[in-house]
Copies of this chain bind each other. A is one copy, B any other.
Amino acid sequence: MADRTYSFSTRIRNVDGGAINDILKASADPSIISLAGGNPASELFPGRELAEIASDLLTNQPALTLQYSVAQGYAPLREAVLKMIAERDDIIPRGDDIIITSGSQQGMDFAAKCLLNEGDKVLVENPSFLGALGCFMGYGAQLVGVDMESDGISVEGLQKALEENDGVKLLYTIPNFQNPTGITMSTEKRREVYRLCAEHGVLIIEDNPYGELTFTGEKKPSLKSMDTEGIVIYCGSFSKILAPGIRVGYIVAPAQIVKHMAEAKQANDTHSPMITQLMVYEYLKRHDIGENIQRMRNLYRRKCKLMTDEADAFFPTSVTHTNPGGGLFVWCDMGGDYDTIQVYNECIRHKVAFVPGAPFMADPSKRCSAFRLNYSTMPDEKITAGMRTLGSALKQIMG
């Protein structure tokens, strides 16, 4: 029976999480120093406050907390989120609506389901977030990579991609502290990117999980705040500012798109759990989430500096790295013809893991000289030890 072959859909056969899953699985081994993941620091989760809230809800409002609800999400939470992002990102709904999703990842998946036909093209920053690439490919989209520069996506590259490709439906971008590079798009580029997409009738998915994790407090205008044309699908999340395990995110997008996304959500999980939505809602009401965010900024700023200082001290000088102004990741590049899989194989022998760059690329089959490091998960001494092991491996391979 185990040998029976099943005929799977073409869309799911496009998806291959193989290599990266093996890496993430390896790095779940507690004896490994993992600079591979993207987990927020669990020591900052407000467990005690959420315990009190959950207990209150289940004791005093069991029917609300445990009964079926609506696909679009708990209405008071929707309002609270709209208020929050109006203040934070200048996002004033103009013909927009909001849906609560189980993480912003789920919002992207439903947007993709509603918008993409097989063979449609999606422009992605090259490199970009793996989870998003997998989600677009899961609906049969073709990815077209546009190179990243130190101040965000290449505008020339974007223009060229828009001109040279038929059937471009979407641009997917993470303007703030991008995953995997840590790069932030400049304000000028944001205006240019918006203008070009509007001109070509291409929708923009603006994914902003890390925007609040700024080290300096500086913020650049969201693409959604410029959205006079109704082309931006804005994705936000509580994963990086409260806790990821509760899976609460949201999408603000033109009402017609949200309507179809709510149908997709109805068919998928009916609605996000009430307990998690209510926990977020009550947390926002009872506590100052800004204080929590400030603690994260302080911690990640310090850990990021620790990591980049170690890179400066122990990596070969020809290996470059980004200097993120926020977020969770540093992107390093050996340059030349190197393949970071080699470095990975050497490091994992010494029980240090990171993610080689290839899977983040629109074409993951090409060899890649870059790799991603995460500084939010490991304690300081493991970051130090891991960076030194990595430095030795790089030196050994680069001669």
Chain A residues with a Cβ under 8 A of chain B: 1-2, 4, 6-12, 15, 17, 37, 39-40, 42-43, 45, 47-48, 50-52, 54-59, 62-63, 65-69, 94-95, 101-103, 105-106, 109, 113-117, 131, 134-135, 138-139, 169, 203, 228-230, 239, 243-247, 254-257, 260, 263-264, 266-276, 279
Contact = CB atoms under 8 A, between A and B. Distances in A.
Given A105-B270, A131-B266, A270-B105, A1 B94 contact: yes
A134 B267 contact: yes
Given A40-B67, A42-B63, 19 more contacts: A1-B254, A2-B254, A9-B113, A12-B114, A12-B260, A12-B263, A17-B263, A39-B68, A51-B58, A51-B59, A66-B246, A102-B269, A105-B268, A134-B263, A138-B263, A245-B275, A246-B275, A273-B276, A275-B279
A237 to B, nearest CB: 11
Contacts of A270: 103, 105, 131, 244, 247
Contacts of A39: 67-68
Given A115-B6, A254-B4, A134 B266 contact: yes
A61 B125 CA distance: 37
Contact of A264 (B7, B48, B138): B138
Contacts of A66: 42, 45, 47, 50, 243-246
Contacts of A17: 263, 266
The 10 closest A-B pairs by CB, nearest first: A47-B62, A51-B58, A66-B243, A102-B269, A42-B63, A54-B54, A55-B55, A245-B274, A2-B95, A1-B230
A95 B3 CA distance: 9
Given A2-B255, A102-B273, A246-B275, A267 B48 contact: no
A131 B43 CA distance: 40
B268 A268 contact: yes
A52 B55 CA distance: 7
